[in-house]
Amino acid sequence: MFSPAIRKPHLLHRRDKEEASPSPPPGGPVHTPPPRGFAVPDRPATGTPAPWTSSSLLARISTSKQTDRADDSDQIRPVRVAEFPQVVRNAQASLLRKNFSGKNMLAGGIDKDTSLAWMICGNEFFIWSYMASVAKDCLVLEVPSSLIGNEAVKPFSSNQWAVCIIRWHSSGASIRNSGEILHQRSSTGVILCNKRTQAIAYWPDIYDVSNRSPVLSSFGYSEASASDGASDRFKLNSIIAAAVPGSTRECIAVASEPAGALWLFQFSPAGIQRKAHKDTFGDSGAEHSQKSNGGRSLAWLPSNVSSEAAERKFFLLTNHEVQCWSISLLHDIKVKKLGSQEIVGTDGDVSIKKDIAGQKNIWLLDMQIDEHGKEFSILVATFCKDRVSGSNYTQYSLLTMLYKPNQKFSSEDNVVKIERFLEKKAPSQVIIPKARVEDEEFLFSMRLKTGGKPSGSVIILSGDGTATVAIYWRGSTRLYQFDLPWDAGKVLDASIIPSAEDRDEGSWVVLTEKAGVWAIPEKAVLVGGVEPPERSLSRKGSCNEAIAEEKRRNQVFNANVVPRRASSEAWSAGERQRPALTGIAQQAVVDEESEMLLSRLFHDFISSGAVNEALQKLRAAGAFEKEGEMNIFVRLSKSIVNTLSKHWTTTREAEFLASTIVSSLVEKQQKHEKFLQFLVWSKCHEELASKQRAAMLTIMEHGEKLSGMIQLRELQNSLSQQRSNTHLSPQSKPQASGALWNLIQLVGEKARRNTVLLMDRDNAEVFYSRVSDMGDLFYCLSHEIQYITNKEEHPSVQLQRALELSNACITVVQAAMHYREGHKEWYPSPEGLITWNSHLVVRSGMWSVAFLIMELLRESGGADMSIKSNIWSQLEGLTDSLLEAYIGLLTAKFERGEEHGVLVQEYCERRDELLGSLYNLAKEIVEAKYQESKEGADNLDLKESIFRELTSPILATAKRHEGYRTLWQICYDLGDTGLLRSLMHDSVGPHGGFSFFVFKELVNSRQYSKLLRLGEEFQEELASFLKERSDLLWLHEIFLNQFASASETLHTCALEGPEGDANLPTSRKPLSFVERRRLLYLSKIAATAGKDIGYEVKVARIEADMRILKLQEEIVQHDPEYAQGKYTNKLLRPSELIEMCLKRDRELALKAFEVFASTSSSFRSSNKGLLEACWMNAANQDDWVKLLQASTTEGWSDEVIQEALQGTILFNASRLCYSPDAVVYDGTFEEVLPVKKEDVHLGGLEAKCFSVEEVLMQHQDFPDAGKLMMTAVIMGKELSYTAEEPVEMDS
């Protein structure tokens, strides 16, 4: 069927070149298949080299000269992933010796979710992880005899077996994923089903050594009737399984029969329950001739798409439709048909149109659902007849449907549910337009797989053992058939390599019958794929019109591309015709040519030491036009440090591999040094360092990483040697243990999965080769550290593993920094450049290790001295490396002018946490050392000496990174004020530096005397710090003899509340009136002592405020809320005091004028309305009409009238405000409110104010007693007034 011609690039050329070369050494007896018994029918009689031969090894054993760059032919070959385990090889050889038929002797498959491969050889069932380059850990189970059946009645068939593997997930997704990447065993259940007999075996946990016996279940029909083929209607076509949520090692499975029934299975360690769901397609007892009308394929809808956890949806592909079902995952299994949609029908817009001229039959062969549950892919075969030639042929196509997840189905069970839950994504994609006619048994043996790379590709497995990748690319369908230069046997199954980053797509991987597991690179499909074989179509129209139309449009742009047909010429063709190059493609060619020129010039320099005008040639070739990673100098440097050694092979012993790693890294280092010399001698270094600084920095960083990788390898060797010395058993393998080994394996395995061409390499080899990808190491630390340290272990064990990882990080970073220091003259100017160790991935990795160490240190409790010393050493190194990385990044961001506030906050938080943990650990070590060292009585000098010696590194780090809290704690615990003052002088940073931090600590602890004593030495610093603390600032100013400033500070402090810096927590209480009065007196004394210019004015203001303060004490006593303590300490504004006076009795009416007299002129001017209200209130306090009537009726003399008026509030207010001896601060009342109306005109104040007379004219008694009222005011103005002396300061 899928038999396009197979292209074997350069195979003939390789044979011609290697005729004189010795053949590869043959493998052992179990590795070399015999010439007979293993042949596959209808396969070309190609040579069969040893199956252990890998693609990378084939390239290396050639005697022809090869460059470091692999050509396209190397990248379109399959890449070996893993060889069969030795036990599987032995079982295959045993079957051969027993003369089993080579046609049906083996069955096998690959489970996508668990990366486990399985194979059945006779009565042995093998399961292993195929992702390991050398599969050594293989599980061997025995196939129960009840499953094999009577092979004498019906021979063993390779496609009669179905295997379902269920991983019982007990850990988090991240840790589970890491365990699968490193092929760690976790609880796994396996279902083995004989599809022909429906006999089933279930292993609840294949890794449970105590119980390897399966649970069995068999169908009830007679084995003797199998010979007539009647039992085929009970054969299972497809089976799917899923774990039951919330249960222990329980799962359910659904299987379909060709006759139309669904079988439901419930598995548990106690047994297997099965029941048939009849009436799925009608009468389950249909004739055997109608067996093809039943279920073809089953597929789960991904669990993340299903709406309920207790239920899952699955889909069943029949001969003409797709059915949607729902199954309950609870103990009582219930299955319900939700709906169905016709795939083969009369409406071509929603399905495959049938009854087209020339169409005889349509088969739906297989169905797959993508990881997101959005796309359904259906493999379709159409039996057609050419109307011109009359010949019959089969057309294969792929139909892609889109699933509508929100589809609502009818809830009535008795209604035929024909719902449209799928819609066409595009017209059917024709894979092979014309292929030979096959029988139905062959057609139904085909299987479809989706989800691999390239995106959109599918792989089709047929019953004859072929695997063909199909993709629609650049306007046409391309086919790539998996094949090896030797007979690899049938392809048993295919899957995709699970991505290390949980991406949806991975490269295709196939399980062969003889040669193990192989991967198909993405480039192999795109470059090595061929167009399907076509014959001229005479009939009009096609089911591929849309693709043909797109193909015709693309011919305009691809006129110069000669498509390769499926023929022998296409496979053995030499150079392809190059298409016309424009735009980006042309630029790529220019880059490639300049890169080749640079490589040749460097090669010449290595061999001869001459530069040959390299700078001029490279300038002419445009070598200096690209920046960053695209720069050709960077790319050549990267290729040097990332070169895979030609001597590393997975067939070598581990010891040999380990011994070659360091030597290969040293060779790379020497070559990279040569490259740097070439740059200098050719003057390219000067060009790069001045104009392309980022590119030059990247080149130097390659050297840093290479140096770090060499030191890391030496560390691994050292750790392995230590473990080998502690292991008693000579068979133990100490290298394959430890956190660092796990980390290397994890990083290497992820790189292999992401780059399929590395699949035939060992994880350690890949890790130590990908030098430029050093960030992957820190990425795994950041994301997988819980797995690497094995969080299920005791905290002390985890701590040891974390310390090993810390040692690795420190080793890499310190080696890189040592390289940087030794080559500093080679580096470009650093302004604005961000180094690799400052990148987020590196910082996150180091922080993850440091945080885990700190967390485990708290959990582990009391550890012995040796462990604490190791923790101290590792945590100190991590702290230094991580903080230096932050400083480098912050410096670069500052130079670039980028925002860095969030980064500063993160840096400060992590700095304080690291230094705090280091200091706490240091104190524990100090105490332990002191207890060991002291003899008899306490020796505080000895303890201090130990303390100083151990904390000196912390002190240096904290000083360098402004870790002020740690500096303060060290000085405080030592009680060393000399050290404290020295650090305060040295640590001058933003926001006051260490001095401000010390001041804050002293203020918070209320150690004011120590604070002021520090002010003797740090005068300006303390004065700046205390600007917001006026209650302390005046003391410092007094000490500095700044009396005027102290007076101002005291004055301000006396009249303000405790409002200060929010960052300065304080327990200051509101000042009482006595305290405020005391501060005012101190302010007056300080002002007098200072005797600055105008100090008399300051003293007058202080005295005025003292009077106001005294007035408040008197006024608030008349307020009803005073007894409740409302105004005990609260300082009121003058306006509030005056308003309180206006609301009270006669006694307070005069107090309002006293408040006005003690305020400033500006206050009186701005509150003139309030002053006028005071005069009206003063007039209201006396009965002027009554007073007038008494003086008239009684005939009072002038003396009596004057005496009576002196008792009025108006008289006293006038005398207080206007008399010659009135005490008024800052100006006079005349400026704001003159007494008489004519005074306003004389003073020119008509537009500014009224007079007291005009205010009183508005009084209701003024028309009658106005003359009397004005007499009282004028009398008060003319008489002298003597104010009370200020009260004495309270003792």
Which residues have C-beta within 8 Å of that of residue 527, sequence separation ≥ 6?
72, 75, 76
Nearest-angstrom CA–CA distance, 1184 and 221: 130
Give residue 4's identity as a one-letter amino acid code.
P
pLDDT at position 1 is 47
More confident: 89 or 8: 89
Lowest-pLDDT choice from 281-295, 912-926, 1275-1289: 281-295
**Pairing relationship of beta strands 344-345 and 352-353 according to DSSP bridges:** parallel
Of 144, 88, 160, whose CA–CA distance to 121 is shortest? 88
Q: Would you tell me how many other CB atoms lie within 10 Å of the CB of residue 593?
A: 14
pLDDT at position 277 is 80
The mean pLDDT value for 1264-1280 works out to: 89
CA 224 to chain centre: 61
- 498: preceding bond cis by omega (within 30 degrees): no
**Tens digit of pLDDT for each residue in 154-192?**
555 667 889 999 988 755 444 445 555 555 677 899 999
Nearest-angstrom CA–CA distance, 1028 and 82: 73
pLDDT at position 198 is 87
Percentage of the chain beyond pLDDT 90 is 34
Beta bridge partner(s), residue 128: 117, 138
Which residues have C-beta within 8 Å of that of residue 297, sequence separation ≥ 6?
237, 238, 256, 316, 317, 365, 366, 367
The mean pLDDT value for 1105-1118 works out to: 89
Which three-class secondary structure state does DSSP give residue 430?
strand
CA–CA distance from 764 to each of 175, 532, 758, 760 (Å)? 21, 41, 12, 12
Banded pLDDT at 1126 (limits 50, 70, 90):
low
Q: Would you tell me how many other CB atoms lie within 10 Å of the CB of residue 1000?
A: 19
Cβ atoms of residues 369 and 315 within 8 Å: yes
**Pairing relationship of beta strands 335-342 and 321-328 according to DSSP bridges:** antiparallel
* Joined tokens for residue 581: 């190059």
Nearest-angstrom CA–CA distance, 937 and 943: 12
pLDDT at position 661 is 80
Highest mean pLDDT among 485-489, 643-647, 848-852, 1145-1149: 848-852
The reported pTM is 0.76
Banded pLDDT at 864 (limits 50, 70, 90):
confident
Nearest-angstrom CA–CA distance, 874 and 803: 7
Cβ atoms of residues 463 and 446 within 8 Å: yes
Would you say residue 148 has pLDDT above 90? no
The mean pLDDT value for 524-543 works out to: 58
Which residues have C-beta within 8 Å of that of residue 693, sequence separation ≥ 6?
828, 829, 833
More confident: 277 or 403: 403
Which residues have C-beta within 8 Å of that of residue 547, sequence separation ≥ 6?
427, 429, 430, 472, 475, 476, 477
Would you say residue 4 has pLDDT above 60? no
Beta bridge partner(s), residue 910: none
The mean pLDDT value for 373-382 works out to: 90
pLDDT at position 307 is 53
Whose tokens are 């299955």? That residue is 335
Cβ atoms of residues 929 and 919 within 8 Å: no
pLDDT at position 423 is 87
Would you say residue 5 has pLDDT above 60? no
**Pairing relationship of beta strands 116-121 and 106-111 according to DSSP bridges:** antiparallel
* Joined tokens for residue 986: 């040295």
Nearest-angstrom CA–CA distance, 347 and 342: 10
**Tens digit of pLDDT for each residue in 55-109?**
333 333 333 333 344 445 556 788 888 888 999 999 988 887 776 554 456 789 9
Would you say residue 612 has pLDDT above 50? yes
Banded pLDDT at 752 (limits 50, 70, 90):
confident
Q: Which helix (H) or strand (E) element contains residue 619?
A: helix 614-620
* Joined tokens for residue 1007: 């150690």
The mean pLDDT value for 1158-1173 works out to: 92
Beta bridge partner(s), residue 435: 394
CA–CA distance from 804 to each of 720, 785, 913, 1201, 1228 (Å)? 12, 12, 21, 107, 85
Nearest-angstrom CA–CA distance, 351 and 343: 5
pLDDT at position 580 is 39
Would you say residue 1013 has pLDDT above 50? yes
Nearest-angstrom CA–CA distance, 778 and 882: 12
Lowest-pLDDT choice from 155-159, 484-488, 584-588, 933-937: 584-588
Highest mean pLDDT among 273-277, 310-314, 1135-1139: 1135-1139
Would you say residue 650 has pLDDT above 60? no
Would you say residue 301 has pLDDT above 50? yes
- 454: preceding bond cis by omega (within 30 degrees): yes
The mean pLDDT value for 1143-1147 works out to: 82
Nearest-angstrom CA–CA distance, 909 and 927: 27
Would you say residue 553 has pLDDT above 60? no
What is the separation, in whole angstroms, between the first and last Cα of the chain?
Answer: 114
Q: How many residues does the chain have?
A: 1291
The mean pLDDT value for 892-912 works out to: 93
Would you say residue 350 has pLDDT above 80? no
Of 499, 463, 462, whose CA–CA distance to 479 is shortest? 462
The mean pLDDT value for 230-248 works out to: 80
Whole-number CA gyration radius for the chain: 47
Banded pLDDT at 1256 (limits 50, 70, 90):
very high
More confident: 816 or 226: 816
Would you say residue 621 has pLDDT above 50? yes
* Joined tokens for residue 861: 């409790």
Of 1175, 1179, 1178, 1177, whose CA–CA distance to 1234 is shortest? 1175
More confident: 471 or 583: 471
Mean pLDDT of the chain: 79
More confident: 99 or 333: 333
Give residue 1283's identity as a one-letter amino acid code.
A
Would you say residue 965 has pLDDT above 90? yes
Lowest-pLDDT choice from 168-182, 188-202, 817-831, 1266-1280: 168-182
Which residues have C-beta within 8 Å of that of residue 1073, sequence separation ≥ 6?
1109, 1112, 1113, 1129
pLDDT at position 290 is 44
* Joined tokens for residue 285: 């007892």
**Tens digit of pLDDT for each residue in 730-741?**
444 444 568 999
Of 1041, 1054, 1051, whose CA–CA distance to 1098 is shortest? 1051
Sign of CA dihedral 806, 812, 816, 819: positive
Highest mean pLDDT among 529-538, 719-728, 1065-1074, 1229-1238: 1229-1238
Would you say residue 36 has pLDDT above 50? no
